[in-house]
Structure 1
Amino acid sequence: MSFVEVGAAAIAAGIDDMYAAFLAGDRSRFDAHLHEDVTTWETHLPGPLRTRRELDQFRDTRDAAGERPVLDVMTAVEKRIDVWGDTGVARYVLVTRDAGSGLEQRTRVTDVLRCLDGSWRIVHHHAELVRP
């Protein structure tokens, strides 16, 4: 496999592991895929979060209020990943299903990643809910 193919496979595996970590409630494993300076822009967030510290503050408040989503499905499909040296871009559709209601949602996601010390980290995450 070429360097580009190896990088794309590593990014795809990292995305899959990140969402498996969310389902398992393993925040430290989830966060291992994020750069400290990750920007996070999502439909449901209160504006762009510009660092992991800001993301942590949001999650701590949400979790303390009992508002952390409880999902039984969280999977990335239709992945398209490109790698240029130590930079990668992953585009995919995130499919989630609420464990209580069974409501399925689809979200378009773009992640920009950097390979630092041999490990791919998300430096920018942009997610937009696809309205039915």
Structure 2
Amino acid sequence: MTVDDLTAAFTDMYRSLGDRAAFDARLHPDLTIWESDAPDLLDGLAALDDLRDRRASARAAAASPTSVAPEQLRTEAWGDTGLVRYVLRARYAAGQPDECFRVTDVLRRDERGWRIVHHHAEALR
């Protein structure tokens, strides 16, 4: 597989955003996660689900983004290890500013394809 395969797999993952099962198929079950709104390192899918649920409760009254997509995508691969860096932009309806995050993902290729083993996201202010 090439960097193009990694880019295609990554792009496909973000197309499935909103379908938790399809999105999570691209995540290794033992992944680690740094997020701006989580004070500690998250370890595994259960910790990610807990963060997702807390976020959903906090924004119940707030508007949801109209789209979420990676921009400025840069990928590299060394055998079965991949690195993806990008800006993740959440767009909202008119009048509400976009939210952007600087993101680095480390991926490993296994029998299920490319899957994220570490995700680091930082909110841009």
TM-score, length-normalised on structure 1? 0.80
Q: Which runs of 5+ in 1 are unaligned?
A: none
Hey, what's the Cα distance between the residues in 1 that align with 2:75 and 2:44?
24
Instruction: State percent identity of aligned pairs.
Output: 42
Report the number of matched residues: 123
**Corresponding position of 2:43:** 50
Hey, what's the Cα distance between the residues in 1 that align with 2:47 and 2:84?
23
Q: Which runs of 5+ in 2 are unaligned?
A: none
TM-score, length-normalised on structure 2? 0.84
Please give the secondary structure, in 1, of the residue aligned with 2:12: helix
**Corresponding position of 2:19:** 26
Q: Provide runs of 4+ in structure 1 moved above 4 Å.
A: none
Is the CA contact 2:6–2:77 (under 8 Å) kept in the aligned structure 1? no
Q: One-letter code of the match for 1:80?
A: R
**1:1-132 maps to which residues of 2 (within 5 A)?**
3=1, 6=2, 8-22=3-17, 25-63=18-56, 65=57, 67=59, 70-99=64-93, 102-117=96-111, 119-131=113-125
**Using a 3 Å threshold, how does the CA distance of structure 1 residues 43 and 116 change in structure 2: closer, same or farther?**
same
Shift of 1:118: 5.3
